[in-house]
């Protein structure tokens, strides 16, 4: 049987990698993002809602389809995407239930702790955890000890929750070898006290800054200023993707503000 897999994911897609393993074990031929190839079965895993009609498939899933089924029963097929790191979850849930986030709305009932060896390929020296909130896992330290024991470096894409940070967790992050920058997030202005407390003890990195959901421009400038003052790089994430939000993101991404004493003054000059 010939199977076609489709996705709008730019780098990798775990569900399709697991599906590929499953079908290849059955002796099926698997193709990725080749809609012109005739097939007997097709799957589309879509990240972004704007792309839900990008592919015609027999079955659809991914974040753009909250009711889709999550595959966790086999190792990923690492030949499907050109990546040099292992990929998977040691803990899937996030209990925050933030209204702007899709994670808690998706149809995944798995709340168990998982070993990295359920998905890690021993020939790879890097690992990417897709965990939505690693430190909600009561066995989070087991994950880090497995990574340390295997001598792996971590590719961090989702980031770590500063609101759950303490000295033990911060020390674990500091002890871990990260490939590239480590990431955190500051989404809500009302979390300021706990966020700043966390920034004082964690290793330096990048802080995701959600703008436009329930914050004003004043809030956004204030958060970015505080992040910079603590020695971290801000990464702006526009919620509405409107002209003003995109302009502020371009401004922050330009790093021209580094020539100024304050973000506010740099923003005023940028808008001129």
CA distances (Å), origin 128, targets 14, 57, 174, 192:
11, 28, 17, 28
With a threshold of 0.85, does the pTM exceed it? yes
- Same domain for 132 and 48, yes or no, is no
Tokens of 190: 């009302």
Chain segment 9-37, per-residue pLDDT in tens: 999 999 999 999 999 999 999 999 988 88
Domain residue limits at 56: 1-69
Is it the case that residue 200 has pLDDT exceeding 80? Answer: yes
Which pLDDT score is estimated for 121? 95
Is it the case that residue 165 has pLDDT exceeding 70? Answer: yes
- Same domain for 147 and 176, yes or no, is no
- Same domain for 254 and 201, yes or no, is yes
Which pLDDT score is estimated for 107? 60
Which pLDDT score is estimated for 104? 65
Based on the structure, what is the number of domains in the chain? 3
Long-range contacts of 220-229 (CB under 8 A, 24+ apart): 220/248, 221/263, 221/264, 221/267, 222/189, 223/186, 223/189, 223/192, 224/252, 224/263, 225/262, 225/263, 225/264, 226/192, 226/196, 227/186, 227/199, 228/257, 228/263
The answer to whether residue 75 is domain-embedded is no
Phi, psi of 242, rounded to the nearest 5 degrees:
-85, 175
The lowest-confidence range among 56-60, 93-97, 213-217 is 93-97
- Cα radius of gyration (the chain): 20
Q: State how far Cα 152 lies from the chain centre.
A: 19
Chain segment 217-240, per-residue pLDDT in tens: 999 999 999 999 999 999 999 999
- Same domain for 218 and 125, yes or no, is no
- Same domain for 149 and 207, yes or no, is no
- Residues above pLDDT 90, as percent of the chain: 79
The answer to whether residue 151 is domain-embedded is yes
The answer to whether residue 103 is domain-embedded is yes
- Same domain for 145 and 183, yes or no, is no
Is it the case that residue 63 has pLDDT exceeding 70? Answer: yes
- Same domain for 249 and 169, yes or no, is yes
b/e sequence 161-177, b meaning 16+ C-beta within 10 Å:
bbbebeeebbebbeebe
The residue from 46, 69, 92 where one domain ends is 69
For the four alpha carbons of 153, 157, 160 and 162, in that order, the dihedral sign comes to: positive
- Same domain for 211 and 230, yes or no, is yes
- Same domain for 55 and 154, yes or no, is no
Chain segment 39-54, per-residue pLDDT in tens: 899 999 998 888 888 9
Is it the case that residue 127 has pLDDT exceeding 70? Answer: yes
- Same domain for 61 and 147, yes or no, is no
- What average pLDDT is seen over the chain? 92
Is it the case that residue 111 has pLDDT exceeding 90? Answer: no
Query: Using 50, 70 and 90 to split pLDDT, how confident is the model at 64?
Result: confident
- Same domain for 202 and 143, yes or no, is no
- Same domain for 152 and 166, yes or no, is no
DSSP assignments along 34-79, one per residue: -TTS--SEEEEE-SSGGGTTS---SEEESTTSTTPPPP-SS---TT
């Amino acid at each position: 049987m010939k199977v076609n897999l489709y996705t709008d994911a730019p780098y990798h897609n775990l569900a399709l990698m697991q599906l590929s393993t499953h079908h290849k074990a059955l002796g099926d031929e698997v193709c990725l993002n080749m809609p012109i190839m005739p097939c007997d079965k097709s799957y589309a895993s879509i990240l972004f809602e704007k792309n839900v009609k990008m592919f015609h498939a027999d079955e659809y899933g991914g974040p753009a389809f909250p009711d889709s089924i999550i595959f966790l029963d086999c190792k990923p097929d690492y030949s499907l995407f050109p990546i040099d790191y292992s990929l998977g979850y040691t803990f899937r849930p996030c209990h925050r239930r933030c209204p702007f986030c899709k994670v808690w709305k998706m149809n995944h009932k798995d709340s168990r702790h998982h070993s990295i060896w359920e998905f890690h390929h021993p020939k790879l020296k890097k690992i990417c955890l897709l965990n939505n909130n690693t430190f909600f896992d009561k066995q989070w330290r087991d994950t880090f000890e497995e990574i340390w024991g295997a001598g792996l470096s971590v590719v961090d894409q989702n980031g770590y929750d500063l609101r759950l940070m303490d000295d033990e967790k911060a020390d674990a992050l500091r002890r871990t070898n990260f490939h590239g920058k480590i990431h955190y997030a500051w989404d809500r202005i009302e979390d300021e006290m706990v966020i700043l407390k966390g920034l004082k003890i964690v290793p330096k990195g990048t802080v995701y800054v959600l703008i436009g959901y329930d914050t004003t421009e004043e809030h956004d400038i204030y958060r970015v200023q505080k992040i910079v003052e603590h020695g971290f790089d801000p990464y702006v994430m526009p919620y509405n993707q409107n002209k003003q939000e995109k302009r502020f993101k371009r401004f922050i991404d330009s790093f021209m503000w580094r020539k100024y004493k304050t973000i506010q003054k740099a923003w005023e000059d940028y808008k001129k």
